[in-house]
């Protein structure tokens, strides 16, 4: 038969110290998790904001009634992040806590035409020169291309959609993104806007 101890102070002190240690551990873990998850949440929110800013700029450029060129500078952050573009999406990623990946994707309201320096033309002026060499007309208001040739230009844009879906255009963070609205005129008295996107090397 077990004997009850009359001195219960030691047991109470042990219990109080154990409870105190447990509470301190809980508070410490709560603070650590709060800091970590707050940091990840903050980074995700920044990526989402950046994607929205870029999408809004595309919409602003698209509403213009004339050819124009604009540059978009990606902000520097205290962490490394990457930006990828297809004709219809922007995707941003960075490293989160404990080697997790933070990823944000946004569908663009405007279809863009990414152009790589290795392609046969890049800028709006290059496009008009390319049309002149290929079809004998620049695609400007005074020198429109035929509707058949315009269809070929659209097919070229359509052909880039699956390419950039599988191999997105990775943006160089330290270089500006050039957005250029180009208007191609074609017969009979029609025109079409293209929104080119490229970076100068």
pLDDT, residue 3, reads: 56
**Percent with pLDDT over 70 in the chain:** 81
Q: Which residues, 6 or more positions from 52, have their beta carbon under 8 angstroms from its beta carbon?
A: 106
Residue 6 in any domain: the answer is no
Residue 37 in any domain: the answer is yes
Residue 17 in any domain: the answer is no
Measure the CA–CA gap between 22 and 6, rounded to whole angstroms.
27
Position 32 pLDDT exceeds 60: no
Domain count along the chain: 1
pLDDT, residue 33, reads: 52
pLDDT, residue 179, reads: 95
How does 159-193 read in b/e, with b if 16+ C-beta sit within 10 Å? ebeeebeeebbebeeeeebbbbbbbbbbeeeeeee
**pTM beyond cutoff 0.75:** yes
Position 9 pLDDT exceeds 70: no
Residue 140 in any domain: the answer is yes
Residue 172 in any domain: the answer is yes
pLDDT, residue 19, reads: 64
Judging by DSSP bridges, how do beta strands 177-186 and 68-72 pair with one another?
antiparallel
User: What are the DSSP E strand ranges found in the chain?
Assistant: 68-72, 81-85, 89-95, 101-107, 113-114, 169-170, 177-186, 190-198
Reported confidence tier of residue 8, pLDDT bands at 50, 70, 90? low
| Lowest-confidence region among 34-43, 134-143, 155-164 | 34-43
Per-residue pLDDT tens over the stretch 71-112: 999 999 888 999 999 999 999 999 887 778 898 999 998 999
37 against 166, higher pLDDT: 166
Reported confidence tier of residue 20, pLDDT bands at 50, 70, 90? low
Residue 168 in any domain: the answer is yes
Which residues form the domain of 156? 31-198
Per-residue pLDDT tens over the stretch 145-183: 999 999 999 999 999 999 999 999 999 999 999 999 999
Position 27 pLDDT exceeds 50: yes
Residue 188 in any domain: the answer is yes
Residue 11 in any domain: the answer is no
CB 146 within 8 A of CB 165: no
């Amino acid at each position: 038969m077990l004997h009850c101890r009359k001195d219960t102070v030691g047991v109470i002190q042990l219990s109080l110290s154990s409870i105190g240690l447990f509470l301190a551990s809980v508070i410490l873990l709560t603070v650590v998790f709060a800091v970590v998850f707050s940091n990840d949440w903050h980074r995700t929110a920044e990526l989402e904001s950046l994607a929205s800013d870029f999408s809004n700029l595309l919409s602003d450029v698209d509403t213009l009634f004339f050819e124009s060129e604009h540059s978009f500078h990606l902000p520097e952050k205290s962490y490394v992040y990457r930006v990828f573009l297809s004709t219809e999406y922007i995707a941003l990623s960075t490293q989160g806590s404990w080697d997790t990946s933070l990823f944000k994707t946004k569908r663009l309201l405007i279809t863009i035409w990414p152009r790589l320096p290795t392609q046969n033309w890049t800028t709006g002026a290059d496009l008009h020169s390319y049309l002149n060499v290929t079809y004998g007309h620049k695609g400007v208001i005074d020198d429109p291309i035929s509707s058949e040739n315009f269809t070929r230009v659209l097919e070229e844009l359509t052909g880039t959609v699956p390419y950039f879906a599988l191999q997105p255009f990775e943006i160089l963070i330290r270089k500006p993104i050039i957005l250029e609205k180009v208007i191609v005129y074609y017969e009979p008295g029609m025109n079409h806007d293209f929104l080119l996107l490229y970076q100068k090397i």
